[in-house]
Chain A
Amino acid sequence: MCDSFKCRTLQEKDDQAVRRLVESTFSFLPIGKFWDWKYLRNPSFDRSFVAVAEDEGKIIGCNHWLPRKVKLADSIVVDSMLGASIAVLAEYRKKGVGRALIHFLRSQHSERKLALMYMFADPELRKHFHTPVAGYVPAPGGTVWYRKILNWNKVKTNVTDFNMRVKQGEFGDRLDKVDLTVVFKVHDAPPLCLHLDGKGFETNSSVEKADLTISSDGNLFTKIRDGQIGMRMLIGSLATGRLKVRGSPRKMLELYRNIQTFREILSGKIT
């Protein structure tokens, strides 16, 4: 536990720092608009439900609660709290700040006798942080997510940024010997052809000239891209035909060696 910080409720003077902290932590949120809308303009917003952690005048962490009614079943609706936007500055993580923020809000509102608190989180983070600290368990299932890829414009933006970094010499001679063209055929999305060489990526290569063709459904593609599946599942997907890779073994090995570079281009903000 880091002893130098203290927790308190949000004050107006903290708004700017908390907004910045939340938006930099959750990079997928629209900058400059999200925090104001979600909290300040929320009809149920109450500053006493937001805790900040402060270290020598600097806001280093925050945790938001939003009061909501939630339906549990047919005729059961309960007053509850959504635990949201818990964020800690990178250099203060793993020092007990998140835990202290949760404890602070709980002690501030202990008289409320809340029947339900809920949150949305990555299952891994939940297992290592939210369950030990706050006792969260999975809610009943029943929600399925669907995605349709319309184009690869964001991948092209990632490519432009990546090529700029190559030009600036960030990768040294690491890419000099690479000469690889890969086509990604994701179910119901337009094909994506990426060529990688010493100059960086190119997205206008001809599909016919591809060294490797990788075909899969969107779900599997996302899991591979995000590194969420292990070797066993990968082999299983190949064996069942859910994942198809066509090309020479030499080029497959070349892709394997540069997999992190491809992931960098395909991950994060393609959607």
Chain B
Amino acid sequence: MLVRTVRDGDEPAIVELFNRVYNRYGGFVPRTVEYWRWCCLERPDVKRDGVFLAFEDGKLCGYVVAGSSGNIWEFCVADDNEEATETLLYEAVSYLEKIGVSSVNVNIPSEAAFAKSLREAGFGEVPAVEMFVTTLNPAALVQALVTPQKESFVERFDDEFAFRLHNVPYGVSKEFFVRIRDASVEIAEALTAKPSIIVDLGFSDFLSVLFGGSSASRLFLFGKIKVRPFRKLFAVLAFLSAMRLEGKWFFPLSDFI
């Protein structure tokens, strides 16, 4: 395994590796060369001798970006390569020790295999800053969630849902409708005159369902969702559940600050 510091021209391979390794997660900014250069190389506390790359058979298999603030801004290793993980971790910690850093911070996906290597290297879990989300346009959010799975929605639903949201924050539209009919999906901000289903729920509850903090059936059990006509309840619960984001989210420290 070859380890060296970053050079001009390494960026496309780094960006490709990052996007491939973290592809199964949500919650981060997909890397482009321009974004990565700004986010890592141009960061005030990062010098090129704190960016280490590991190569196996001439191919990039991992990299780490360490800053003089003690933060490991990005840590990325392909295929849970244990040797690359340990080598890069050693290089980063040695570099930070050498420049007089007091402590090292790194964040990783909760299910990452290299958590074991971190613990063996003396790292301990600490309380984390959390990520929070909201929307300025519920219809646009629903559009983003439904469009990639349009075929599946068209197959499962044949209805017109009118959503009326309560306790909506400033600047956010209070209602939107979704019409799934004749193999097409139409989403708009205004309600139609006679929607076939009317759904009333709180703005936060709506977001909690979409982002996995709650479930549609839980909202119903706690009386937080009202559906008219009531016989359409299961269609509404199924529709909300189908939009729900189920996967884990991971944001590297470089996306945080």
Contact = CB atoms under 8 A, between A and B. Distances in A.
Contact of B132 (A113, A126, A228): A126
A106 B125 CA distance: 37
B169 A134 contact: yes
Nearest to B115: A144
A24 interface: no
B248 interface: yes
A217 B124 contact: yes
B96 A143 contact: no
Chain A interface helix/strand/loop/mixed: mixed
A231 interface: no
Nearest to B34: A43
A198 interface: no
Range class of the B interface residue count: 35 or more
Interface residues of A, number: 76
In this complex, the member of B136, B170, B251 whose beta carbon has the largest number of chain A beta carbons within 10 angstroms is B136
B132 A120 contact: yes
B105 A143 contact: no
B106 A146 contact: yes
A7 to B, nearest CB: 13
Nearest to B101: A150
Nearest to B106: A146
B74 to A, nearest CB: 13
A69 interface: yes
B28 interface: yes
B239 interface: no
B133 A136 contact: yes
Contact of A222 (B27, B28, B122, B126): B126
B70 A135 contact: no
A97 to B, nearest CB: 15
Given A115-B135, A120-B129, A217-B124, A271 B70 contact: yes
5 contacts: A70-B27, A106-B170, A134-B170, A138-B131, A140-B248
Given A76-B144, A145-B125, A148-B122, 20 more contacts: A70-B29, A77-B30, A106-B136, A110-B171, A112-B136, A114-B136, A115-B136, A115-B140, A134-B170, A136-B133, A138-B131, A138-B132, A142-B109, A142-B111, A145-B127, A146-B115, A146-B119, A150-B104, A188-B122, A218-B125
